[in-house]
Chains A and B, each alone.
With several copies, the nearest count.
Chain A
Amino acid sequence: MSDATLDALYQEVILDHNRRPRNFHPMPAASCSADGKNPSCGDQLTIWVRVDGDRVAELSFQGIGCAISKASASLLTEAVKGKTRTEALALYETMHRVFTGLETDTAVLKGLGPLRALSGVSKFPMRVKCASLAWHAFKAALDGAGTVSTESGAPTPVS
């Protein structure tokens, strides 16, 4: 594995969101929230969502985790904001394909904007669950599930 692959994982966008996570605070007025846990890493985060009609109006998160999981959560809170529920769930699906390297359509990848920075994780199978943790938690919040553990929903056979 080369330094270039590592550069692709830890892109400046990721490092920046790791250093200064956006929307990093609790949200008392949230419509729903969920905890995400990654037992084998010790990562834990909470994601809060304020839904307004059919739209995801606002998101925030807090927790501890590696750069990948923190940046992924931070990017999520910005990217999903303002989307309809359907759009948000479609993006959740897309991101899973991105993390696992299944999304190869360059048009789709380009359309992701800053989220595309997370695609570098697909070369690191052991880190996929770091990237997907916040997304699992977001979906769990929308579904009213409360808690989610990456050991369960992991999209790769490698949990």
Chain B
Amino acid sequence: MSTGPLAPRADFPLLAASPDLVYLDSAATTQKPAVVLEAIRRYYTEANANPHRGAYALAAAATAAYETARHRVARFLGVADPDTLLFTRGSTEAMNLIATAWGRAQVGPGDNLVVTRMEHHANFVPWQQLALATGAEFRIAELGPAGTIDLEHLASLIDARTKVVAFGHVSNALGTIHPVTEIVRIARERSAGGAPLGPGLPPGALLVCDGAQAVPHLRCAVDALGVDAYAFSGHKIGGPMGIGGLVMRRGILEAMPPYQFGGDMIEWVEDRTSTWNVLPHKFEAGTPNVEGAVGLAAACDYVERLGLDAIRAHEVALTAEAMAALGAIGGVTLFGTPDATTRSGVVSFAIEGVHPHDVATTLDVAGVCVRAGHHCAQPLMRVMGVPATVRASFWVYSTSDDVARLAQAVRETQARFA
């Protein structure tokens, strides 16, 4: 059993420049394919101007570059209406956009907000703080067996006063792929007694799905998922830093107050009041990150060329290999579900008697980059009873060799600390 790279290492300038580097922290951020860097360079060389604002041809080219990128990314995500895809800095900003613009207007005392124990801080703290600011109740759905969310407990927390149910698509700490369709069904049913989310929209809670760890690995047909809002980060899918997005139902976006104020998002600015531009501009104040959008679109092209089914198969194979290789080492504990087909390319583990940070440092010197820490999931670490875990995560350039180097380095670490 040996899995070669799905994408040639030569496609990634950083990996090509460091042939011995085993980069196993793709869940934190991916390495960038040359085509993305080239798209950025080309944009600045051929089309750079401030979009939406100029009447000249170069400005039209910049506008076209930006809006074409939006169409491209929307198509990649299975979003039929590109104007419902707002560009943000990343997943974190997407969640904060909802909590600020929608949350502050919609949530009050007596309401409640539901999250899960497994959320990244980006999908936990905004709701916790919204609850504190508005007097709503903050509820946490606890874990079920082996890296799952207890759906019965989740269901029991949701009622007609639930305004938000926020959950991840894939856990960054454990790799668990959550049953989104099932969660949506439960949440809709349990919150059905609430007010409609808008004209022609379902009643009840706003269903917010954090797709940061799903988009790089799974075919995410966002429209078909049935959620009301979906967030993702470009830098986790080969795109540049500083760009990501939020997909949200048109009816909700149209009814929602804006998020930030300034150029592009206005229609008319009177002395005392203002009116807002149409979607998506209403939610994109100021000069947009055209470069970021263009780079992200190039990343979507690249990933689609590799094929999402192929990526998925590649990652399942590597995850299974890694779980087998690490599981065979005495003193290594694996976290999460035992079935590689229900997780993305993330393997979280611990070595008995060696603190995760010492593991990460020792592995680093062996040329293996893994992440040690709480993975921005302190509430999860707390109930798991560990201060931190070691996490290895894969992407398209990862191989069986990487897994073997990881396992070997783990054994050497044990020897050093024995």
Contacts and interface: CB of A to CB of B under 8 A. Distances in A.
Interface in A58-95: 64-68
B361 A6 contact: yes
A39 B265 CA distance: 11
Interface stretch (B9-17, B51-59, B206-214, B331-339): B51-59
B355 A158 contact: no
Contact of A42 (B59, B364, B387): B387
A10 B359 CA distance: 12
Contacts of B266: 39
A127 interface: yes
Contacts of A44: 387
Nearest to B53: A40
Given A3-B365, A158-B63, A127 B55 contact: yes
Given A126-B59, A158-B63, A9 B52 contact: no
B77 interface: no
A125 interface: yes
Contacts of B387: 41-44, 64-65
Given A68-B358, A149-B267, A41 B63 contact: no
B355 A66 contact: yes
Given A152-B278, A157-B71, A1 B373 contact: no
Interface in A100-139: 124-127, 130
B410 to A, nearest CB: 15
Contacts of B54: 126
Interface in B221-255: none
What secondary structure prevails in chain A residues at the interface with B?
mixed
Interface of B is mostly: helix
Interface string A1-43: 1110110011000010010000000000000000001011111
B362 interface: yes
- Residue from B55, B68, B358 whose CB has the most chain A CB atoms within 10 Å: B358
B357 A151 contact: no
A127 B361 contact: yes
A68 B357 CA distance: 9
Interface residues of B, number: 37
A130 B373 CA distance: 13
Contacts of B67: 157-158
A69 B318 CA distance: 34
A67 B417 contact: yes
A40 B357 CA distance: 11
B364 A1 contact: yes
Contact of B358 (A5, A67, A151): A67
Contacts of B56: 126
B365 A1 contact: yes
A1 B57 contact: yes
A151 B281 contact: yes
Interface residues of A, number: 32
A159 B52 contact: yes
A41 B267 contact: no
Contacts of B60: 124-126, 158
A125 B364 CA distance: 13
Interface in B315-363: 354-358, 361-362
Contact of A65 (B268, B354, B355, B365): B355
B120 interface: no
B285 interface: no
A124 B63 CA distance: 13
A87 to B, nearest CB: 30
Contacts of A6: 361-362, 365
Interface in B242-283: 266-268, 277-278, 281
Contact of B361 (A9, A42, A158): A9
B64 interface: yes
A98 B60 CA distance: 19
B139 interface: no
B277 A42 contact: no
A159 B71 contact: no
Contacts of A40: 52-53, 373-374
A128 to B, nearest CB: 10
Interface in B58-96: 59-60, 63-64, 67-68, 71, 82
A39 B268 CA distance: 6
29 contacts: A2-B365, A3-B365, A5-B365, A37-B268, A41-B387, A41-B388, A42-B373, A42-B374, A42-B381, A42-B388, A66-B357, A67-B354, A67-B417, A68-B357, A68-B358, A124-B361, A125-B63, A126-B56, A126-B361, A127-B361, A149-B278, A151-B277, A151-B278, A151-B281, A152-B278, A157-B82, A159-B52, A159-B278, A159-B281
3 cross-chain pairs, A with B, having the tightest CB-CB distances, nearest first: A42-B387, A66-B355, A66-B357
Interface of B: 52-57, 59-60, 63-64, 67-68, 71, 82, 266-268, 277-278, 281, 354-358, 361-362, 364-365, 373-374, 378, 381, 387-388, 416-417
Given A66-B357, A67-B358, 9 more contacts: A10-B358, A40-B52, A42-B378, A67-B355, A67-B417, A68-B358, A124-B361, A159-B277, A159-B281
